[in-house]
Amino acid sequence: MRIGKHGRAGAVVMMTTVITIVLGCSKRAVPDQDTKSERADSFVIYTVNYPLSYFTGRMAPAGAQVVFPVPEGIDPAFWNPSADAVQDFQAASLILLNGAGYAQWTRYATLPRARILVTADGCRDGYLHTEQSVRHQHGPEGAHAHSDLAFTTWLDLRLAVCQASHVRDVLLQRLPDAKDSITAGFETLEQDLLDLDARLRVVGRASKGRPLLASHPVYPYLADAYGLSIQSLHLEPDQTLRGDDWKRLDAILKERHAEWMLWEAPPLEATKAGLSQRGVTTVVFDPAGQPPVGGGDFLSVMKANVDRLECAVGVKACR
Amino acid sequence: MKDSMYLAWRYLCHHRAKTLLLVLSLSVFLGLPLIMRAMSRATQRSLLDRAEATPLLLGKKGSSLDLVVEALYFQLKGAEAITEADVDAIQATGLALGIPIRTGLMARGFPLVGTSLDYFRFRNLRIAEGRGLAMMGECVLGTEAAKTLGLGPGDALLTSPSTLFDLAGVYSLKLNVVGVLQPSYGPDDEAVFVDVRTAWVAEGKGHGHQDLAGAGPDLVLKRKAGTVTANAKLLQYNEINESNVDSFHFHGDPSGYPVSAVIAVPHDEKSGVLLRGRYVDAEARQLVRPARVVDSLNKQIFRFERILEIVVWTVGLATAVMFVLVMVLSWRLRAEELRTMTRLGCSRWKAAQIMGSEIVIMVGASIFIAGVFGIVMAQYGETWLQNLILRGA
């Protein structure tokens, strides 16, 4: 019986033993969200072509860095960046894309959506197309053609103003402290572009729908905005035209009787002479997708383009 | 007291089998409820942490739990997909950042998660080795996935075919591993991350193939009026690399391509409220607050845990009664031994001390075992329990 007492005591000891084990430690991820207002001196803007770089440079406040990383001599529309170059874009505070399928590499590169602005989106109802590529069919999806949008949107200078206004809006949103300089920069840029736009409208009216040829299909926006009737070929200014090229050209000239041909860069002398023999005047209209090599800027290049067009259609005397 | 402890210890050592049996039963009795509670709390906390770190989640109208489980924990529940246009719609509101999440495919047993670069920034996921995603066809591995698969930057990983017996179906895509993430102690550690467009290619929504414009007659079935129809010999690429990446394309409008959910990160609290307001009457979409969904899941788990606790305590009580019975019977069997001790001059109090010491040693050992087991289970059992809960949810 005495032992029973001991037993009961033991049972009480056991049953009243309280154990608390604090376990578990959790790590909590805190979302890293973009701050709304940023410092201009650490603000880096990457662009995919020179016009955007130029527009942004005109508006960006002091300290902000505008980067156009495409090496000289490479068409930015068809540049294939390395993974390192893509990572530079990823690290930027703002990435300015042109839209209309410009810079094919952005289709397959991984870029942060939060910091991308497609400048031409929303500027017009739809983008223009170049000539349709070959449609093809394989498997059950049906026939399809890969996209062939015309992408030199800035050649419609009102569209260029629209693109610049989108850049202005995002800069104001991200750098509200620099509102005055951004707004002032945009206003002068807008004026410069609209002056050129007015001159091109005069050129368009003066051309009276007379046909033009173009060495490359890069002028649809120019044609659409200013009422120019342009037929495009696929000729390179730095390559000698072969017999087939001249035959195709002659066939087109038979149908269209074009007096002028637009080139992205001055063609070879032989090409120029051959065209001259056929009564076609060579007019250089540089789309300015890349910075001018011999100095100057987008505006000076475009002014020179408009001068040459005015001269060709007889709006102004040739210099 | 020291002498009593010594004698008790010697006694227990002498009766090893009985002692071991009693200590183990006591360990289970003491440890089970504690371990269950600790694991359950840790799991609930960890589920809630991830949900709380995700402000809003957009998905197809239906089970909000399925949506959260699929988009946050990458457990495949088969929630209906919405489209890329929903990501654009969130962005277009200007109220929040939209991060697409595309789940559904696996890569050697780990979930393949298609998303955008913003996801890594949003979840604070940093690269431990290699680099982040730069091009389509690349993948970044969670730390556990990398460890288990034994892969690192420079290696390749095949997606698991979704249609094993469908010869005309979508085949595996070879992904280039470019980086491994730092541990984040969550579902991201066991995922394979790709760009959402890579996920679409893996699903067969997009593909790359030989250029058909200049294809020879051996590849072409018919060619008429700007349309080329290829035959089955057309080579479709099963890997995206620098030389063929620009041949990859998507048919139709990419805004109609599927995403499982969109994580919406409002710019501020007001934007979040406004955004929620916009989806209140949405017919086919739901914008949920994952924390609320997981909280309701936790409440259900808690209810179930209470029932389980009652069962465990009942079993525990039975164990305790058995223990007491065993001890009482043991002391009764040792009556002669105790009598001898008394005759040798041992007081009744000393005898009780020795018996008490035996209990103290056994209970102490049980607490120690239960504690060690509890720590181990809390450390490694959380993921197991989390998976069990999410799969059963």
What is the model's pLDDT at position A20?
30
What range defines the domain where residue B122 resides? Answer: 56-205+251-288
Q: Looking at the structure, do residues B302 and B188 belong to the same domain, yes or no?
A: no
| A18/B contact by beta carbon, under 8 A | no
Contact between chains at A138 and B124 (C-beta distance less than 8 A): no
**Alpha-carbon separation of residue B113 from B82, B105, B180, B200 (angstroms):** 15, 8, 14, 11
The CATH architecture of the domain made up of A40-126+148-193 is 3-Layer(aba) Sandwich (3.40)
**DSSP secondary structure string for all residues of A161-209:** HHHHHHHHHHHHHH-GGGHHHHHHHHHHHHHHHHHHHHHHHHHHHHHTT
What is the model's pLDDT at position A5?
46
**Alpha-carbon separation of residue A119 from A105, A168, A276, B294 (angstroms):** 17, 10, 39, 40
Q: Looking at the structure, do residues B368 and B316 belong to the same domain, yes or no?
A: yes
Whether residue A14 has pLDDT greater than 50: no
Domain extent listing, chain A: 40-126+148-193, 208-313
How far does A301 lie from chain B, in Å, by closest CA?
31
Contacts of B134 in chain A (CB under 8 A): 83, 86-87, 90, 109-110
Of B68, B49, B52, nearest to B60 (Cα)? B68
Contacts of B143 in chain A (CB under 8 A): none
Q: Looking at the structure, do residues B257 and B110 belong to the same domain, yes or no?
A: yes
How far apart, in whole angstroms, are the C-alpha atoms of residue A310 and residue A200? 8
Q: Is the dihedral of CA A254, A256, A257, A261 positive or negative?
A: negative
State chain B's mean pLDDT as an integer.
Answer: 85
CB contact at 8 A, A111 and A90? yes
Residue B246 domain-assigned?
no
Q: Of B288, B312, B341, at which residue does a domain stop?
A: B288
Which residue would you say has higher pLDDT here, B274 or B166?
Answer: B274
Contacts of B60 (CB under 8 A, 6+ apart): B67, B79, B80, B81, B82, B284, B285, B286
Whether residue B285 has pLDDT greater than 80: yes
How far does B174 lie from chain A, in Å, by closest CA?
16
* Partner-chain residue, chosen from A110, A134, A142, that has the shortest CB–CB distance to B133: A110
Mean of pLDDT values over A147-159? 89
Within this chain, domains A40-126+148-193 and A208-313 share the same CATH topology: yes
Query: What are the structure tokens assigned to B238, written together?
Result: 């099963």
Convert chain B into a string of H (helix), E (strand) and C (coil). CHHHHHHHHHHHHHCHHHHHHHHHHHHHHHHHHHHHHHHHHHHHHHHHHHHHCCCEEEEECCCHHHHHHHHHHCCCCCCCCEEHHHHHHHHHHCCEEEEEEEEEEEECCEEEEEECCHHHHHCCCCEEEECCCCECCEEEECHHHHHHHCCCCCCEEECCCCCCCCCCCCCCCEEEEEEEECCCCCHHHHCEEEEHHHHHHHHCCEEEECCCCCCCCCCEEEEECCEEEECCCCCECCECCCCCHHHEEECCCHHHCEECEEEEEECCHHHHHHHHHHCCCCCCEEEECHHHHHHHHHHHHHHHHHHHHHHHHHHHHHHHHHHHHHHHHHHHHCHHHHHHHHHCCCCHHHHHHHHHHHHHHHHHHHHHHHHHHHHHHHHHHHHHHHHHHHHHC
Q: Looking at the structure, do residues B199 and B178 belong to the same domain, yes or no?
A: yes
Question: Distance between terminal CA atoms of chain B?
Answer: 54
* Partner-chain residue, chosen from B212, B335, B382, that has the shortest CB–CB distance to A136: B212
Whether residue A45 has pLDDT greater than 50: yes
Burial of B359 (0-12, 13-18, 19+ CB in 10 A): buried
Percentage of chain B with pLDDT > 90?
A: 39
Contact between chains at A10 and B227 (C-beta distance less than 8 A): no
How far does B62 lie from chain A, in Å, by closest CA?
27
Whether residue A196 has pLDDT greater than 60: yes
| A108/B contact by beta carbon, under 8 A | yes
Which residue would you say has higher pLDDT here, A276 or B341?
Answer: A276
Mean of pLDDT values over B43-65? 89
| A137/B contact by beta carbon, under 8 A | yes
Q: Of B263, B288, B313, at which residue does a domain stop?
A: B288
Whether residue B34 has pLDDT greater than 50: yes
Mean of pLDDT values over B256-280? 93
Q: Looking at the structure, do residues B184 and B323 belong to the same domain, yes or no?
A: no
What is the model's pLDDT at position B210?
67
Contact between chains at B118 and A135 (C-beta distance less than 8 A): no
What is the model's pLDDT at position B237?
75
Lowest mean pLDDT among A234-248, A295-309, B21-35, B96-110: B21-35
The string over A35-51, giving b where at least 16 C-beta atoms fall within 10 Å of a residue's C-beta and e elsewhere, is eeebebeebebbbbbbb
Alpha-carbon dihedral of residues B269, B70, B160, B102, nearest 10 degrees? -30
What is the model's pLDDT at position A10?
41
How far does A120 lie from chain B, in Å, by closest CA?
15
**Alpha-carbon separation of residue A309 from A50, A201, A203, A261, A305 (angstroms):** 22, 11, 7, 10, 6
How far does A39 lie from chain B, in Å, by closest CA?
18
Q: What confidence tier does B75 reach under pLDDT thresholds 50, 70, 90?
A: confident
Residue B90 domain-assigned?
yes
Torsion-angle region of A288 (φ positive above 0: left; ψ -120 to 50: alpha; else: beta): left
Contact between chains at A7 and B324 (C-beta distance less than 8 A): yes
Contact between chains at B363 and A14 (C-beta distance less than 8 A): yes
Q: Looking at the structure, do residues B387 and B264 belong to the same domain, yes or no?
A: no
Mean of pLDDT values over A63-78? 92
* Partner-chain residue, chosen from B30, B118, B352, that has the shortest CB–CB distance to A112: B118
Of the residues B359, B382, B385, the best mutation for testing chain A's interface (the one with the most A CB atoms within 10 Å of its CB) is B359
Contact between chains at B213 and A136 (C-beta distance less than 8 A): yes
How far apart, in whole angstroms, are the C-alpha atoms of residue B11 and residue B356? 12
CB contact at 8 A, A197 and A157? yes
The residues that bridge with A116 in the sheet, in sequence order, are A95
Mean of pLDDT values over B49-66? 92
Query: What are the structure tokens assigned to A213, written together?
Result: 């040829």
Lowest mean pLDDT among A39-43, A154-158, B276-280: A39-43
Residue B239 domain-assigned?
no
Residue B222 domain-assigned?
no
What is the model's pLDDT at position A15?
39
Contact between chains at B331 and A6 (C-beta distance less than 8 A): yes
Residue B215 domain-assigned?
no
Q: Which of residues 299-318 of A touch B (CB under 8 A)?
A: none
What is the model's pLDDT at position B233?
66
Mean of pLDDT values over B336-357? 86
Lowest mean pLDDT among A99-108, B13-22, B78-87: B78-87
Whether residue A309 has pLDDT greater than 90: yes
Contacts of A86 in chain B (CB under 8 A): 134-135
> What is the number of structural domains in chain B?
2
Torsions phi, psi for A315 (to 5 deg): -70, -40
Q: Looking at the structure, do residues B270 and B176 belong to the same domain, yes or no?
A: yes
Contacts of A220 (CB under 8 A, 6+ apart): A128, A129, A130, A150, A152, A230
Q: Looking at the structure, do residues B317 and B262 belong to the same domain, yes or no?
A: no
Lowest mean pLDDT among A279-293, B1-15, B142-156, B256-270: B1-15
How far apart, in whole angstroms, are the C-alpha atoms of residue B182 and residue A310? 62
Contacts of A142 in chain B (CB under 8 A): 251
Contact between chains at A112 and B359 (C-beta distance less than 8 A): no
Mean of pLDDT values over B313-324? 84
What is the model's pLDDT at position B388?
66
Half-sphere exposure of B66 (CA within 13 A, CB side): 14
Query: What are the structure tokens assigned to B198, written together?
Result: 């890579």
What is the model's pLDDT at position A1?
37
How far apart, in whole angstroms, are the C-alpha atoms of residue B119 and residue B214? 40
Q: Looking at the structure, do residues B149 and B79 belong to the same domain, yes or no?
A: yes
Contact between chains at B41 and A141 (C-beta distance less than 8 A): no
How far apart, in whole angstroms, are the C-alpha atoms of residue B68 and residue B63? 9
How far apart, in whole angstroms, are the C-alpha atoms of residue B279 and residue B82? 14
Whether residue A13 has pLDDT greater than 70: no
Highest mean pLDDT among B242-246, B270-274, B303-307: B270-274
Contact between chains at B338 and A83 (C-beta distance less than 8 A): no
Contacts of A147 in chain B (CB under 8 A): 249
pTM assigned to the model: 0.76
- Counting one residue from chain A and one from chain B, the pairs whose CB atoms sit within 8 A come to 191
Mean of pLDDT values over B175-197? 94
Convert B24-71 into a string of H (helix), E (strand) and C (coil). HHHHHHHHHHHHHHHHHHHHHHHHHHHHHCCCEEEEECCCHHHHHHHH
What is the model's pLDDT at position B186?
87
Number of C-beta neighbours around residue A89 at 10 A: 24
Contacts of A146 in chain B (CB under 8 A): 249
Contact between chains at B324 and A11 (C-beta distance less than 8 A): yes
Q: Of B232, B264, B288, at which residue does a domain stop?
A: B288
Contact between chains at A3 and B328 (C-beta distance less than 8 A): yes
Of the residues B11, B175, B324, B346, the best mutation for testing chain A's interface (the one with the most A CB atoms within 10 Å of its CB) is B324
Mean of pLDDT values over B162-174? 68
Contact between chains at B122 and A33 (C-beta distance less than 8 A): yes
Residue B244 domain-assigned?
no
Fold of domain A208-313: Rossmann fold (3.40.50)
Lowest mean pLDDT among B131-145, B200-214, B325-339, B341-355: B200-214
Q: Looking at the structure, do residues B41 and B176 belong to the same domain, yes or no?
A: no
Q: Looking at the structure, do residues B101 and B84 belong to the same domain, yes or no?
A: yes
